[in-house]
Amino acid sequence: MRWLGALAVAASLGTACDSGGAADEEIGDELGVGGALGKADGAGLAALPVDGDYAQTQVWEVNNQWEDTDTAAAREAGMAWGADSGLNWDEKYALWVESLDTIDGHYNESFEITTPWGKTLEAAKLDCADVALTMRASFAAWYELPFFVTAYDNGEAVHFGHFGIRTSSGSWGNMPNFSQFADYSDMGSDALDDWPQDSTLRSRGVQNGDDQDFVFEGARTGAWLDELHLNKRAGRFIRLMLIFTGSPHLADSRNTFNLQPDALREGDVNLHRWQAQGVGHTMFVIEVDKLEGGKTDARIVEGNLPPSQPRLLNAVSSKLRLTTNTGGGEGYAENNGGLKRFRVAKNMGGYWTNTWMAADEASWIDDRDHEAMAARIGVLQGLLGEVSPEEKLGALLEILESKREHLRDKPASCSARTKREEAFQELYALGAEEFDMTQADVDAMYRVTEDYIFAELEYSQSKTCCWLGSTDAMYETILAVNAQRQEDAEACLEPLVFKAVDGEYAEFQAFAPESWVAYSNDEHCPQGDLPNHNDVEATHDWTNYCEWTDAGGGDDSGGDDSGGDDSGGDDGASCNDRCGGMADSCWCDDSCAEYGDCCDDYDSACG
């Protein structure tokens, strides 16, 4: 059957993401954001003076401007463009992103980054927003372009940029003077033979779970940034920026602007925003191809929380992400999500101002125009081409499995639980519209026991959601506890959901204390430190567990990785008059052989 996961009893992830904490001295809470800009959401707001005294805090010197096309530096050949290209730096940024090679990464299909001196480095495990922030800031640092992102500390603007980490009155908090750190940029490609290192940077992380073992055993994000940047000031700066900013800051119109769908290109971002404040999910556009008939194919990558290597999605799955209502569609436009493009920092009236390229003005949508923002979903559905029901089904199943995989590695992840249930909502609608399936039919066919064990939690009311350090061994323990409880019961028993009860995880921890990791409020959530706290489950729109098992769901207790009854089609169902679709509990489509769920008479009836 088309089950996508199994209850692997002691043998044997769409998603929200914001930066969490790590055990380093600068770690603090992610900063706040500003409100809607309204009339100011256009040319942008002035930040810091261009001629300010930044000698001590400057990360890199600005020697180029984003709109340059005919300066000596702009006329040189680069990573993805030839000499005398006539392109501005923002266009070159998009070409660079387009040129990146996709790879079979250490964790999933991903991409590798190419630097101006010819070094390539596998994409790091990052929080979703950190992928986009790192790419943009790195390009600006390499080519000495102005750059900054604005956040807020108790109402005061904090600017993270080429000039350092500053407010209008000076350096913010205990942020370092970056001039004290080394910049080896002048070495260029000669550095490839003996890469200079910043030992302190190499020892630092951004948040718990950001291990980068493909760099070296025990490496964290600081080590990866040290390998990416000859300018160690830039590496240190980007690390701090990733700690204090995230998805909400990419939604803030001070840093990005809302984009018309027909302007979509590589390097843009798409944001899912369930609420105006708080967590969200960021996707990074890595490939855009123009097709015949005015259609477009796009592919995105997405990180996760806890951090994961950016996962490259195919065109169908990418379309689903780009056309989901939480991406600025109806009912969500007020949250300022959807398609975004990075603003460019320019000298306007003597102040660094995050604005847009002149050519982009026609592609901008005012952040007060919620009707135009919401209308983008329909435009994208037409622009990105038709997707057959079978293709959409396959893409949704891929999403389900990717979120389950993430939970098997990081069982405390609430973002993976949420994205899994969002995919099920789309699956319910697809089943009803295209396959004559009720919600119970969908659950019987595609649910697995672990979905009930790792039930969706209310993020703001559950301390589990703040925990980044859960492990795969804990996952096995959680499943084993549930398997033992069911074995001891005389009748169907509702699963014991992995969540905090009275502030603890007592039954799970007692089962295998040697494999249990102590709780840590890694995201500094308010609810994370409350004593005797009970997590709150989200309202579940699924078939009751015992009703589900009675209907044939959950036949996965044998621990095999196929999940469910993998013997093929139902012996009472037939493909007669059902070719291309579903027949009761088996399938008669082109994909059934791949999934192992063809009806017994598929070959004779549909061959």
Is the domain of 294 the same as that of 313?
A: yes
**Domain contains 590:** no
Tell me if 207 is assigned to some domain.
yes
pTM of the model: 0.73
Whether 360 is covered by a domain: the verdict is yes
Identify the top-confidence range among 3-7, 158-162, 414-418. Answer: 158-162
Same domain, 305 and 233: no
347, β-bridge pairs: 352
Length of the chain: 607
Are 271 and 375 members of one domain?
A: yes
Answer whether residue 16 is part of any domain.
no
- Whether the ω angle into residue 306 lies within 30 degrees of 0, i.e. cis, is yes
Residues 194 and 243 in one domain: yes
> Cα–Cα distances in Å, from 12 out to 169, 410, 452, 476, 506?
56, 15, 18, 7, 23
Q: Are residues 136 and 234 in the same domain?
A: yes
Interval 437-449: pLDDT, tens: 999 999 999 999 9
Question: Angle of helix 89-99 relative to helix 128-142, nearest 10 degrees?
Answer: 120
582 lies in some domain: no
Task: Mark whether 375 and 407 lie in a shared domain.
Answer: no
Short-list 330, 282, 276, 323, CA closest to 304: 282
Same domain, 426 and 484: yes
Q: How far apart are CA 61 and CA 231, in angstroms?
A: 11
CA distance 297 to 77: 28
**pLDDT band, very low/low/confident/very high, at 459 (cuts 50, 70, 90):** confident
> Is residue 604 situated within a structural domain?
no
Whether 299 and 441 share a structural domain: no
Domain-embedded: residue 57: yes
Residue-level pLDDT at 206: 92
- In the predicted model, what is the mean pLDDT of the chain? 86
- Which tens digits make up the pLDDT trace of 381-420? 888 877 788 888 888 888 898 889 889 988 999 888 988 9
Instruction: Say whether both 192 and 213 belong to one domain.
Output: yes
Question: Mean of the pLDDT values across residues 96-114?
Answer: 89
Query: Is it the case that residue 559 has pLDDT exceeding 50?
Result: no
Tell me how far apart the alpha carbons of residues 277 and 283 are, in angstroms, rounded to a whole number.
18
406 closest CA partner among 415, 397, 393: 415
Distance CA 467, CA 522 (A): 5
State whether 231 and 372 are in the same domain: no
Whether 594 maps to a domain, the answer reads no
Clarify whether residues 159 and 135 are in a common domain.
yes
pLDDT for 111-125, tens place per residue?
999 999 999 999 998
Write down the pLDDT at residue 124.
Answer: 92
Give the residue with greater pLDDT, 106 vs 490: 490
- Residue 242 belongs to domain spanning: 38-249
| Same-domain check for residues 142 and 219 | yes
- The tally of domains found in the chain comes to 3
Domain C-terminal end among 249, 276, 304: 249
